[in-house]
Chains A and B, each alone.
Chain A
Amino acid sequence: MTSDLLVIGGGVVGLIAARELARAGARVTLVDAAQNAGSTTNAGSLHVQMQSRFIRLYPEHARNAERALPCYRQAAECWDRLEAGLGPIHLVRKGGLMLAESAGQMAFLEEKSRREEAKGLDVALLDRAELDRVAPWIGSQIVGAELCRDEGSLNPLLANRLLTKACADLGVISIIDRIDELTVTSDHVSARGLHGRYRAGEAVVAAAWGSGALVRAFGVDIPTAPEPLHMNITEACEQRIDHLVQHAERSLTLKQFGTGQIVIGGGWPADDHGTDAVPGVRADSLVGNVALAARLAPAIGTLRILRTWAGMNTTADGSSIIGRLPGAERIIMAVPGDAGYTLAPLVAQMAACIVLDRDPPADPAPFSPARFAA
């Protein structure tokens, strides 16, 4: 199959990139393995402030993430515009709270908020009294919180569905296949899949955890280690929780969807069963993650957990990978760093601009894959 552009990976980044490219008039083929997409399993949090989980787990990458903070804010704004174009995706941006249970945690948040303010984020520290007004459901042990007004959430299932439909309406050809080899000649890119071969002028690689393996043969070693993560969702209840909720020290995200259901996650581990199989849910993650939520928000204690699942994430080196592949310029990388669903519209639009030779919405230089070239 031949087209102008090949997009490899049909998660949210691939879909938005395909949509952008097709809107510019290109004939686009989107090939996706339909396996372990983070986009179909993620929690729909729009992250802007630095996640304490990330700082703790990947201290060596924290600087990269900090440098990229303005992008997160910009990406959240991209979602506002996307919703206007696509239709309702239950996007709410009422801010995110990072809760502290001790004076030490509060001090950590103070320092963090100072650094974030310097990067242009809209943050504030709330004491218990202020917190009671905006989040009356919190546990009595919470002493305060950092509020980041840029944060929020959306329903990724709605967004994925509308994006899929938009791509189809624009004539994007979607194929389910797994690409296992990419080759580049002087005038085209060729991709070999399990079921077919695809040829195009250029290819956008938006394959998340699968991206590193696809381009390794070109001498660029992109670290996209799969990170299987655990999620939980409750039954519906009255709309009470307005914010995206996190903890200053422990792994937690908690928010309420427009369906009334509360989604609990925050990066608890799941068992890796290889990239061809869904990751396995672990008893200790389920129990630990939900118990933490129950302690921070005792009001949800009488609800029941309806479902859990695990999906595949990758954080790369903490920073996004966007741009032409050194030595194989017909390949354009589009892999978001941590909190990839939030970053997706920005990453996809930047990659599309590079393909179309337009001015990208932000400077792509810091995200170039050149940093991984041998």
Chain B
Amino acid sequence: MTEITFTFNGTGIAASGGESLAAALTAAGRREFRVTAGGKPRGMFCGIGVCQDCLVTVDGTPNRRACMTGAVDGMAVETQPAFPGLCLDAEVPDIPRARILTPDVLVIGGGAGGLSATIAARRAGAEVVTLDERTVPGGQYYKQSADGSLLDAQQAEGAALLADARACGAEVIGGVEIWGAFDGPLILAESGGSALIVRPRAVIVATGAYERPIIAPGWTLPGVMTTGAAQTLWRSYRTLPGRRIVVCGSGPLNLQVALELAEGGAEIALVAEAAPSPFLHPLRGARCSIHGPALAWKGLAMLCGLRWRRVPVRNGLRLAAVEQSAGGLSATFRRMDGGTCTVRADAVCMNAGFEPQNEILRLLGVRMTYDPAVGHLRCDRSETLETSVSGIFAVGDCAGLGGAPAACAEGRIAGCAAAERSGHAEGRDVAADRRALRRHRRFQNALWQLHDVSPTPLDSLPGDTILCRCEEVTVADALAGYAVTPGHLGTLKRATRIGMGHCQGRYCGPAAARLIAEHTGEALTDRSFFAPRVPVKPVTINAILSFEEALRGDE
């Protein structure tokens, strides 16, 4: 691996080629990347390009996500101010030619579901293009190492899947930011400043999920991050988020990542699981092992591994607040009996479930139904995983939480069906995949009974708790805004600026939708959430020039 150097605010930082800026900076002990309009420091939070709190200025260009930008030798990286400067003598840049693609099947997202769909559709004879936001596809479950090394069986399985997808003749393109989805379907994406315009016959959306945070005082402090962000640091870049770490929230990911980080040499000060101990509900545990003996065994092995490493795993603890203290963070937890305990650490990792990345599906007008069991929208789908819009398929977590094995089975089913849609009917038998899918779904249902991802009601939080990270809108602001203009989420957004920032409402949106539902007593539906809008992710103005030329020629 090549050793390189870049500067951060003038100081040299060593990194290895392929490493993200966020990983290299974290390894160097730097975690404050940008400053908000309110003067507060922020750093990496989600680690997967969603929260936009890791923005830095790179070689004079502002608003680059440190977690998605690779370190390059000689780069000048700077803390991003709230109001970056404009280059007044800038000229219109040379406009790169757009690439126009018209595959039979477009797969959006190269994770477990997307890669499986790619292979199935291609093997059925369809011409397939697969796009993924990360430079190295693989998704959240198979998270690949930047340097190609393999940490364990999970990464090896992902590497094999990716190699299969490439070998079967599909075009798999990494480092692509999809920002537009329009009827047609017409998909607009950007790759390194040039335009990618895709007019496929069928689309398989496999955009996965992002993590539901714990909204509590201090959740915006640098050093507080999602569990997945810590996992990306470790699995992709072999960097630890800190020396002493607290992991909290609910769900199996927290256990797995705590164990991985401990094996990587971190001291795990505490794993706090919100749900009561599974030993209080032996039946629920038993149900898990019936529906998924292998996965239940894996879970048990994780717990044993943690115990063997003397990592304290405590049930019934909810994060109450994180504070900055001399030399680190201190996280306070509330026990079920009302008592509290405080733990010091230099990184606090949180995961309280998942939110589907369903923006593209919603933009395309796909019908969704709210699932109260997991607290998010699920996409209505047929047996073949086609959505309510003909030719648009959805697989994996973007359609509603299901886990990686289910995503793989769904990908294979939808891949065949989408190929058939576009005239390639070498129909493979998917009966075995259907059976596997049913099994995985039963396991998931049983699994989430052991956890508790119910969010803390916003009303019970201190008023100065930040609700909207980007616009720094507090819980009190939101409640006051709601009192002046009750109604729906759109009204609250316009009254308070909630959801108007960089992350486009991905974290505050679901929480605010729940707040309104609690107040109105109405059930949540698709319309309770922010209306879907392009761009799906912020898109650079200069990059749009290349789309204009191509779309104009198109007409």
Contacts and interface: CB of A to CB of B under 8 A. Distances in A.
Interface of A: 34, 40, 136-137, 139-140, 157, 160-161, 164-165, 168, 176, 234-240, 259-260, 278, 280-284, 286-288, 290-291, 293-295, 298-309
Interface string B73-86: 00000000011111
Contact of A302 (B61, B188, B531): B61
B462 to A, nearest CB: 24
A237 B61 CA distance: 12
B186 to A, nearest CB: 6
A228 B545 CA distance: 24
Given A34-B491, A164-B484, A283-B188, A234 B541 contact: yes
Contacts, number: 144
Contacts of B481: 161
Given A157-B495, A287-B548, A305 B531 contact: no
B63 A299 contact: no
Pick the 8 closest A-B CB pairs, nearest first.
A291-B548, A304-B538, A301-B542, A299-B86, A298-B90, A238-B83, A290-B544, A287-B547
Given A238-B83, A302-B542, A307-B533, 20 more contacts: A34-B487, A40-B494, A137-B86, A160-B494, A160-B495, A161-B495, A164-B484, A238-B86, A283-B551, A284-B551, A290-B541, A295-B92, A303-B540, A304-B540, A305-B541, A306-B500, A306-B501, A308-B533, A308-B534, A309-B533
Contact of B63 (A161, A278, A303): A303
A303 B481 CA distance: 29
Nearest to A286: B534
5 contacts: A235-B63, A294-B541, A294-B545, A301-B542, A305-B539
A136 B88 contact: yes
A308 B544 CA distance: 13
Contacts of A168: 484
Contacts of B545: 291, 294-295
Contacts of B186: 283
A306 B504 contact: yes
A308 B532 CA distance: 10
A140 B87 CA distance: 14
A160 B548 CA distance: 34
Interface residues of B, number: 50
B484 A299 contact: no
Contacts of B504: 306-307
Nearest to A304: B538
Most buried by A among B544, B545, B552: B544
A166 to B, nearest CB: 10
Interface in B287-325: none
A305 B87 contact: no
B84 A237 contact: yes
Contact of A236 (B37, B491, B548): B37
A357 to B, nearest CB: 32
Interface string B472-495: 000000000100110110010011
Given A294-B541, A294-B542, A309-B533, A304 B63 contact: yes
B502 A235 contact: yes
Contacts of B487: 34, 176
B547 A298 contact: no
A281 B183 CA distance: 10
A34 B193 CA distance: 39
Given A160-B494, A293-B541, A307-B504, A302 B548 contact: no
B139 interface: no
Contacts of B491: 34
Contacts of A284: 551, 555
A237 B86 contact: yes
B91 A140 contact: yes
B541 A237 contact: no
B497 interface: yes
Interface string B87-118: 11111110000000000000000000000000
B538 A305 contact: yes
A63 B502 CA distance: 43
Nearest to B488: A34
B463 interface: no
A139 B82 CA distance: 25
Contacts of A237: 62, 83-86
Interface in B165-189: 180, 182-183, 186, 188
Contacts of B87: 299, 302
